[in-house]
Every structure is written in C-alpha cells, then in structure tokens.
Amino acid sequence: MLLLVESIISCLDEIKAVEKSRKRGASQQAAFTLLEVMVVLVVVFSLIAIALPQLAKLKAKSSRITCANQLKNIGLAFRAFSTDNADRFPMAFGTNQGGSSNYVQSPEMFRHFKCVSNELSSTLILRCIENGVRRSEEVTWDKLSNANIDYLVGVDAQLESPNRWLAGDRFLETDAPVSNYLVHLQPRAKFHWLAKPHHYEGKVVFSDGRVERISNSQWAQSLKKSDLETTRLAMPVAPARK
C-alpha cells in the first residue's frame, strides 16, 4: 500500500509540474485542474477499496479474540468456584450445598452458570460476540434463562481431569442421543459445528482452563483424550439434528 501511495504522489507531482510549466509567467498561482481532481478521487477510492477488506479482517480477528477470552473467563469462574467447594464444579453436587447437579437432567441448564455468577462481570459474557449480540440484550442474573446463553456446559467436567470439556460453543449438529437438551456424545457419533458463527469450528474451554479452537475433524480426538466414554453436554437449546 505504501508503494501505491508513493507512486500516486509522484504522479500528482508530475502533473502539477506540467501545469506550472504551461502557465509559467502567469502571475496567478496555479490551481487544481479537473485532471488532478479526478486523480485524487481515484486515489481515495482505491485506498478505500484496499482498506475495507483489511478492516473487515481486523474486526473478525478482534471478535474471535473476544470470544476466546469470554470462554477463558467462564473457565476461570468455574475454577474459582471449585477452590471454595472442595475442588468440585457446581455440576458435581446438589443445590442444598450451592451446586447445580439437580439440573443436569433438566432443560434449565442456565442454573450451572448462575452458580458462578459471583465470578462473572455480566450476563453478556455468556453470549457469543460473533453471533451478533447487542448491549441492549443484557439481563440481570436473576432473570437469566437459556435464551441468554450461547455456550454449552460439560456436566461431567472435573478439576482433576484436565482434558474434559467444561464449556464451549453451542452451535452444533449431531445424531447423538438428546434428552432435555442434554447431549450424550461419543467419539463415534456424527457431530459437526455449524457454518455460523465460527465457520465450521467451535471453541472449547477445558477443565484445566485452556481454550482451544476445535474443527470438525478434531472434535472426536479431543473427546478421546477426556477419559470418558460418553461426554454429556448441557445445551441452552436443542442441537440441530444431523
């Protein structure tokens, strides 16, 4: 881009020199000609055409980073909760002890996130920025429901099992058994991330807090590392059926 700008500036200088030479001797200072104005307009539109795709790429990259950071913070919230509860995530014990295991077989999966609300700044952190969420969609924690959540929860995640899925994107389709939005996923099942919003990829935060982008060709291998025959995923909405 720098070379293009330099070439255009050089061209303008030459045009200006020609005009000045043509009007040499005239007492009036040379003004911009129609040709110069047209060249300037061409330059401006050329720079816009070059810059817009780059800006779009930067915006997309920024959104991906923000989404990954949100999952990172969700993972940290669950881990912070575990430090105060004998190294257990809320899905591991009942509501009478401050957990959410009573809701593992319930459609109300938002209960798992409410248990860690003290560790999260806003309910908007549960919405994927690449899915077009707006600030006006923020709700208070007491009004949180599945409709305000874009992430699933791995209900069998354990602190001592670092490769188990703790949370991740909900945008998937599968032929795995589903009961009350709880997916019973095995490596041999048919499973695909959807085209939107992450273009056939999904982000997952593991029990040890790391976040990874997982493609459609990687998810089965990821599950095999988890030490579980079946990974149970609590979904905010029923997944698309494959």
Nearest to 74 by CA among 108, 134, 115: 115
Nearest-CA neighbor of 151 among 94, 101, 62, 211?
A: 211
Q: Calculate the average pLDDT of the chain.
A: 84
Model pLDDT, residue 189: 94
34 vs 28: which has the higher pLDDT: 34
The pLDDT tens digits for 162-175 are 999 999 999 999 99
Choice among 49-58, 82-91, 143-152, 202-211 with the minimum mean pLDDT: 49-58
Q: What is the pLDDT of residue 133?
A: 77
Q: Are 235 and 183 in contact (CB under 8 A)?
A: yes
Mean pLDDT of 32-44: 71
pTM value surpassing 0.85: no
Residue 46 has pLDDT above 80, yes or no: no
Residues 184-242 have pLDDT tens digits of 999 999 999 999 998 999 999 999 999 999 999 999 999 999 999 999 999 999 999 87
Task: Say how many C-beta atoms besides its own lie within 10 A of residue 95's C-beta.
Answer: 13
* DSSP codes, 43-97: HHHHHHHHHHHHHHHHHHHHHHHHHHHHHHHHHHHHHHHHHTTTT--GGGS-GGG
pLDDT band of residue 136 (cuts 50, 70, 90) is confident
Which pair of structure tokens corresponds to residue 196? 């939107």
Q: For residues 170 and 144, give the distance between their C-alpha atoms in angstroms, rounded to a whole number.
A: 17
Residue 123 and residue 132: Cα distance in Å, rounded? 15
**Per-residue model confidence (pLDDT) at position 65:** 67
Enter the DSSP assignment of 168.
E
Q: Does the pLDDT of residue 134 top 70, yes or no?
A: yes
Note the Cα 90 to chain centre separation in Å: 24
Work out the average pLDDT over 133-145: 89
pLDDT at residue 58 in the model: 45
Strands (E), the chain: 151-154, 165-169, 172-174, 178-179, 182-185, 191-193, 201-206, 211-215, 231-234, 240-241
Question: pLDDT per residue over 80-119, tens digit each?
Answer: 999 999 999 999 999 999 999 999 999 999 999 999 999 9
At 41 the pLDDT is 74
Tell me the domain boundaries of the chain: 52-241
* Sheet strand arrangement including 172-174: 191-193, 172-174, 240-241
